[in-house]
Amino acid sequence: MVNICSIFAQLTGASCPLCGDPGDGICRRCDAILPRNTHACLRCALPLPPGAAPDKQCADCQAQAPSFDRVLTPLIYQPPVDELIAGFKYHHRLAQGRLVTELLVEAAAGTELPALLLPVPMPADRLRERGFNQATEIAQHLARRLNLAWSAGRLVRRRAAVPQRGLGKQRRRRNLRGVFACHGRLPQHVALIDDVMTTGATANAAAQAVRKAGAQRVDVWVLARTPRSDVRRWRIS
């Protein structure tokens, strides 16, 4: 038997990006299995182990507070979230990026909104290779949906850095020291925008730059947060 709904979805592109069922977004079944970041560090949004108190900071943030104040992120960077974001970043599936960004819009509801959104800039060679900055796409969508100002030119990279992949947290921080700078004075409350937070080194370096430019509160808004790979190292107090 011919599946008319499936054919219609193929012709119109109106289908769930995860399972292919007809619709104009992520279907209810797939939405229900998305790994939500509902139990996380109050500061860096690192997913906390089961049993940890919900109103605590992780041991890393207690030992060395990051330069940003809080991370807002709706998802954990695990399947199938990683597939959605990879399609957005590497295959120009901008519609998938907008779908996931809608979850960030929902997460921002009821929070104190910043005066300005600042997408984290990409290295120039990667921007040429990819053709677009996913953080800029996210910031544009957030700005439209939340009626916020945004700028892709106020936060800039002033030098190249060694690729972060494979580096530990401390080496990432040293690698990014002095990479970012700001043009002009910034409002007191800003939010840095990116797709995924791994160790937080990039966000920390960018936050240092925007604080030097006058920001008093720096939030970080990302689509997903990478969990710690070795849960035995988690120490919550």
Is pLDDT above 90 for 33? Answer: yes
pLDDT class for 10, splitting at 50, 70, 90?
A: very low
CATH 2.60.40 given to domain 34-233: no
> At 119, phi and psi to the nearest 5?
-65, 140
Is pLDDT above 70 for 170? Answer: no
- In whole angstroms, how far apart are CA 101 and each of 12, 66, 152, 158, 175? 22, 24, 17, 28, 29
Is pLDDT above 80 for 162? Answer: no
Residues of the chain with pLDDT > 70, as a percent, come to: 82
Lowest mean pLDDT among 23-27, 103-107, 134-138, 212-216: 23-27
**219: helix, coil or strand?**
strand
Is pLDDT above 90 for 205? Answer: yes
Which run of H or E residues covers position 196? strand 189-197
Give 3-state DSSP helix, strand, coil % of the chain, rounded to 5: 35, 20, 45
Which residue type sits at 56? K
Helices (H) and strands (E) counted in the chain, each on its own, are 9, 8
- In whole angstroms, how far apart are CA 232 and each of 99, 152, 212, 218? 34, 39, 37, 30
Average pLDDT over residues 119-134: 90
Q: Are 219 and 207 in contact (CB under 8 A)?
A: no
Is pLDDT above 80 for 147? Answer: yes
Mean pLDDT of the chain: 85
Dist CA 45 CA 33 (whole Å): 20
Is pLDDT above 90 for 176? Answer: no
Q: Where are the alpha helices (DSSP H) in the chain?
A: 4-12, 28-33, 59-63, 81-90, 94-108, 124-130, 134-146, 169-175, 201-212
Average pLDDT over residues 151-168: 71
Average pLDDT over residues 53-82: 92
pLDDT class for 53, splitting at 50, 70, 90?
A: confident
Average pLDDT over residues 87-100: 93
* Residue 2 confidence (pLDDT): 35
Is pLDDT above 60 for 8? Answer: no
Q: Where are the domains of the chain?
A: 1-33, 34-233
The pTM assigned to this predicted structure is 0.85
pLDDT class for 13, splitting at 50, 70, 90?
A: low
Dist CA 164 CA 174 (whole Å): 11
Q: Which residue has the higher pLDDT, 53 or 159?
A: 53
Q: How many residues does the chain have?
A: 237
